[in-house]
Structure 1
Amino acid sequence: MNFAAEFNALSGLLRDPDEETKAPAPGTVSRPNPGAIGPKELLNVKVPAVKPRVDPKEIWREDELVDPVDDDVDDGRETPSYEFLYKQAVDTADNFLGMSGKDNSSTSCEDLVVRIELPGAEGAAELDLDVKDTYLKLSSPRYKLSIHLPHKVDGERGKAKWDSAKKVLAITLRIIRDDPF
């Protein structure tokens, strides 16, 4: 027996006996496909939608996360240069005797100062500033800045000061310490 005859015999075994089929010409091989195997009623079966599996140990889902700085699209505006500075409230006892336990590191500082250089800005009126607890957004017709802050701050009680001579915006924000050292 040759391969074609064996293949035709096998397809005859897999074919539905109630189905009328035209017999292939002798010496030719039909081209079966996965849809031709089995009864035709199985082809119209509705498959239920798969529900996403929820892990009982997960803290959050990906769809719940919201990135507060969502305007990272380059729209042609320039990103200004900026730096983070720290302020610390000290008195003479701290300075000479070191009685409060403060050191000169950022962990002992009370305020975060964000200093942004805007040499092409006309004035403070054209600047749009939005400060939240963990990020800062600044936009103007020429500049755009969206940054995450290195410390959690009190975004409601910050102070911004515009220096028109130097074209510098200084934003002073109170650092919120959740876990004091």
Structure 2
Amino acid sequence: MDIGSFTAEFQALTSLLRDPQEEEAAPAPGSVSRPNPGAIGPKDLLNVKVPAPKARHDPKEIWREDELLDPAAAAVDDDYDDGREVPNYEFLYKQAVDTADNFLGMSGKDGSSTSCEDLVVRVELPGAAGAAELDLDVKDTYLKLSSPQYKLSIHLPHKVDGERGKAKWDSTKKVLSITLRIIREEPF
């Protein structure tokens, strides 16, 4: 195989690989261009803009400021002590069971709070005159109860449906029971 036929075959190969829209510069007569990997394919691929790298955070940081701001919690303005008493409260859980659940265990429910459908917040208000003086505000993750004598602001242990809760006042025991439907978010 002589060098002339090799050159002709090589030029035929480069003409096949060359972009037809690319403007061809005429090589000097008698000179052979030296191809390289960058000369193969369209030239506009070489001008790709790479986005700037994101700001790096200190690897020793436990959290960043933007992770701390919860929009639901940011709307609550109760971080001050105005002298009102904080009442005693407790969280209770309710689940709907029937005899098949109770004796046969067919639904897969167990006694843990992960099988419960409702969260009940039981608040003891011994100095309250009645339900008319209570102001209750329930968000998906937050509960705020206020009266002339009491103030309670708590984050709930589960996400709840704040629009469809029920509150019941027991005037003999001076207890407010707030029943809220738990919203379970599937992990997958």
Task: Confirm or deny a common fold (TM above 0.5).
Answer: yes
Q: 2:75 aligns with which of 68, 72, 79?
A: 68
Match of 1:158 in 2: 165
Q: How high is the sequence identity, in percent, across the aligned residues? A: 80
Question: Which stretches in structure 2 are left out of the alignment for 5+ residues?
Answer: 1-53, 58-62
1:80 and 1:118 in contact (8 A); partners too:
yes
Q: Matches of 1:95 and 1:63 in 2, distance apart?
A: 43
Alignment partner of 1:61: what SS?
helix
Q: Matches of 1:89 and 1:59 in 2, distance apart?
A: 41
Match of 1:142 in 2: 149
Q: 1:165 to 1:64 in 2, by over 3 A?
A: closer
Match of 2:39 in 1: none
1:69 and 1:147 in contact (8 A); partners too:
no
Q: Matches of 1:64 and 1:134 in 2, distance apart?
A: 14
Alignment partner of 2:81: what SS?
coil
Alignment partner of 1:173: what SS?
strand
CA apart distance, 1:59:
9.3
C-alpha RMSD of matched pairs (Å)? 2.4
Q: 2:84 aligns with which of 73, 77, 88?
A: 77
1:163 and 1:169 in contact (8 A); partners too:
yes
Match of 1:115 in 2: 122
1:86 and 1:113 in contact (8 A); partners too:
yes
One-letter amino acid of the structure 2 residue matched with residue 61 of structure 1 = D
CA apart distance, 1:65:
4.6
* TM-score (norm. length: structure 1): 0.65
Match of 1:130 in 2: 137
- Check if 1:102 corresponds to 2:106: no
Match of 1:15 in 2: none
CA apart distance, 1:72:
1.8
Q: Matches of 1:139 and 1:166 in 2, distance apart?
A: 18
